[in-house]
Amino acid sequence: MKFTEVKKKTKDELNDLLESLKKENYNLRFQKKNGQLEKTGRIKEVKKDIARVKTKLNEENKGGKDAKKNIER
């Protein structure tokens, strides 16, 4: 999933997507532990998708266009 696809979604859709991605991540980790996982690269993709969704949600919560500028240090 590209960030442009994430930007088009509403806040509720993003929250639902985040929940489903977290469940998928859990299931993938469980499959890996049991030796049932065939596509190991999917774990990395899901982690990046979770980060993209969280970035967009953070951007919306802060009200800015660029989430990096809103990070407090």
- Residue 51 located in a structural domain: yes
- Residue 67 located in a structural domain: no
Host domain of residue 48: 3-61
Residues 6+ apart with CB under 8 A from 66: 59
- Residue 38 located in a structural domain: yes
Q: How many domains does the chain have?
A: 1
Q: What is the value of pTM for the model shown? A: 0.81
pLDDT 10s digits, 13-47? 999 999 999 999 999 999 999 999 999 999 999 99
- Residue 72 located in a structural domain: no
pLDDT band at 49 (very low <50, low <70, confident <90, very high): very high
- Residue 68 located in a structural domain: no
Supply the pLDDT for residue 1.
Answer: 85
CATH number for the domain that contains residue 31? 1.10.287
Supply the pLDDT for residue 64.
Answer: 64
